[in-house]
Structures are given as structure tokens and as C-alpha cells.
Structure 1
Amino acid sequence: MKHLVVYAHPSPESLNHAILETTVEALKNNGHEVTVRDLYALQFQPVLKPEDTEAMKAGHTPIDIKTEQNFISEADAITFIYPIWWTGLPAILKGYIDRVFSYGFAYSVGPEGIIKLLKGKQGFIINTHGTPSEVYDEIGMTAGLKVTSDTGILDFVGIEPVGHLLFGSIGYVDDAAYKGMLQEVRTTISSVFA
């Protein structure tokens, strides 16, 4: 299986980076071909500009967008790894979605409504956040994040959501807790993408 990992965190010392390494290792151990797109390392330009839209309408997709679309087209599964900032996606990843999941590539519209153009792919999401998970669960934020990402992004374009891990209290727990999180990532990825 060809697996694309889209990663968005600026620090190589972060838990997110350890999650990335753990995910890639688990996938490779299961025989998957893995491609990582580290948006910060790529210095991905996240702002959807009027000239981008005009170029795509004219059938001339800008090369940076087309490159990412090619990786998505070739993938059987896509895993997104990113922190939750201000209860949402980091700007660089939001911009990736805005620019890469474009009309005519990821979705279209017909007489019957939305046409999902990325059917046949699986999607998995791993998030971290500083707020305790219990608090996010209690106020409905965990459910809200899953609906926004799993339904509002993945399912909207036809990608089947097959899992979503959220880890809270980042920055406030001990090493044993972080090791437990990485073990959960390893076990879950190995099981979902056996």
C-alpha cells in the first residue's frame, strides 16, 4: 500500500515529530511504501492567492499545488499529523487543504450535489493539544474536531476516515505518559494498516 504522511509541526524536537517517526516506522514494518510531506521543511506556501485560482480555472495548476496533488493521487492512504492550535489546524496545514484539495481535483459539483473525487483512499489523523483530553471531551471539542476534520475535510472529498487519535495535556505530563502515547500510535497504526 502506498501511504502518504502529511506532517505539520515546526519543531524536530516535538512530540509530533516523534509521532511522525513512530508512524513511519510502524507503516514500513507492515510493508507499506511511505512518503512524508513535511510542510515546514518544504516551506509550503499556504496562502491561496487569486492567481492560483485563475490558473487552476484555466487548467494550469501551479507546480507546488500540482506536486502535492500528485502525491495524493498516488496514495492509497493518507495520514495527517499535526497539533491543534486555537482549536484548529496550524495555518500551514489549513493552507495546504485550501490550495491542494481544490475544486476539480478533490471535489466537484454536479446536478446531484457534491462529487467526491478522492474516493477509494483511507484517511487517518493524529493530533496533539495542550488542553487535557477530559476537558475537550466534556465541552464537546473532541467531537467537534473529529467532525470538522474527519467529516468536513476527509469525507467531503471521498477519503474514508479510518481513525483519529487525539492526545491531550501535551507539555504537562511525564515521560512515561509520552511513551504511552507513542506506543498507542504504534499499536493503532500497525492494526489499522496491517
Structure 2
Amino acid sequence: MNHLIVYAHPRKESFNHAIMETTVQSLRQKGHEVNVRDLYAMEFQPVISSSEILGSVGEEIKKEQEYLIWADVITFIYPIWWTGLPAIVKGYIERVFSYGFAYRYVNGEQKGLLKGKKAIIINTQGKSHSQYAASGMDKALILTSDIGIFEYCGLEVLNHVIFESVPSSEEATRTDWLEQIKEKVNKL
């Protein structure tokens, strides 16, 4: 199977980076093909241009779209910042998941064009699950990302994993979380 990983965290020492490395290693050990798009390392430009809004995409975006076409499974790994996607991920989606590529309207009805592809979302957050649930942010996150972006474009969301209270977590907890990633990957 072809796996695309869209990864976003500016620090190589982050737990997100450890998640990405564990995911890549586990997938390759299972014989899967893997491509990683490290948005910060690529210095991906997240700001959409006026010509892109009108449907004109440049070579940089066409290249990213080719990765999406190639992939059977797309794994997004990023932290939750300000109760949502980091700006670089939001910009990637705005620019790469463009109209006519990832979705379109037919007779006023929206059609996801990435049908047949699967998505896995892996997030880290600073707060606990209970803190997010108390404010309703847990449901809002699923609504805005899983449904409002990924399913909207036709992706089947296989799993959305959120690791909580990461900055205050212990090394043993993080090791256990990485084992959970390996287990999930081994089921693919």
C-alpha cells in the first residue's frame, strides 16, 4: 500500500517527530511504500494566492497533488494549536485540496473527489481530553477537521488519535503511546 504522511511540527525534538518516525518505520517494516511531506522542512508556503483561488495551481501544488493521487492512505501528524490545525497545515489544505482536485460542486451538490482514499489523523495537545470535552472542543475538532475537511473531500477517516497533555507527560507514557502507533500501523 502507498502511504503519504503529511507532517507538521517545527522541532525535530518534538513528540510529533517521534510519532512521525515511528509511523514511517512501522509502515516500512510491513512492506508499505511511504512518502513524507514535512511541511516545515519543505518551507511550505501556506498562503493561498488570488490566482489559486481562481483555479490556477503552480508546479509546487501539482507536485503535492501527485503525492495525494499516489497515496492509498494519507496520515496527518500535527499538534493541536489554538484548538485547531497549525497554520501551515491549514494552508496546505487550502492550497493542495483545491476545487476541482479534492472536491467540486455538481448541480449545487458537493462531491468529494478523493473517494477510495483513507485518512488517519494523529494529533497531540497540551490539554487533557476532559478539558477539551468540558468545553465541547473535542466535538468541534472532529466536526471541523474529520468531517468538514477530510470527509468533505471524500476521504474515509479510519482513525483519529489524540494524545493528551503531552508537555506534562512522562517518558513511559510517551513510550506507550508510540507502541500504540505501532499497533495501529500493524493493522493496516
For normalisation by structure 1, the TM-score amounts to 0.93
**Structure-2 residue corresponding to 1:95:** 91
Give 1:54 deviation, angstroms.
3.6
The code of the aligned residue for 2:9 comes to H
Superposition pairs of residues 33-182 of structure 1, within 5 angstroms: 33-54=33-54, 56=56, 61-111=57-107, 113-182=109-178
- Please name the residue that 2:11 is paired with: 11
Superimposed CA distance per residue, residues 78-135 of structure 1 (whole angstroms, 9 cap, x where no aligned partner): 0000000000100000000000000000001011601111111000000001001221
Task: Give distance in 2, aligned partners of 1:6 and 1:170.
Answer: 20
Contact kept? 1:82, 1:127, Cα under 8 Å:
yes
Task: Kindly provide the amino acid, as one letter, of the partner of residue 42 in structure 1.
Answer: M
Contact map agreement 2:55 2:99 (CA 8 A) in 1: no
Mapped to 1, the partners of 2:142 and 2:185 lie a distance apart of: 18
Counterpart for residue 21 of structure 2: 21
After TM superposition, give the deviation of residue 137 of structure 1 in Å. 2.7
Q: Which residue of 2 aligns with 1:30?
A: 30
Q: CA RMSD in A?
A: 1.2
Structure 1 position 51, deviation (Å): 2.5
Structure 1: stretches of 5+ with no match in the other structure: none
Structure 1 residue 140: Cα displacement: 2.3
Task: Give the AA of the match of 1:53.
Answer: I
Distance 1:129 1:179 in 2: 16
Quote the Cα distance in structure 1 between the aligned partners of 2:150 and 2:71.
Answer: 14
Query: Does structure 1 conserve the Cα–Cα contact (< 8 Å) formed by 2:16 and 2:79?
Result: yes
Normalising to structure 2: TM-score of the pair?
A: 0.96
Q: Distance in 2 between matches of 1:106 and 1:88?
A: 21
Q: How far has the Cα of 1:7 moved from its partner?
A: 0.1
Identity %: 49
Between 112-121 and 89-98, report the one with greater CA deviation: 112-121
Offset at residue 189 of structure 1 (A): 2.0
Amino acid at match of 2:42: L
Structure 1 counterpart of 2:28, one-letter code:
K
Divergent runs of 4+, >3 A: none
Q: Secondary structure at the match of 1:130?
A: coil
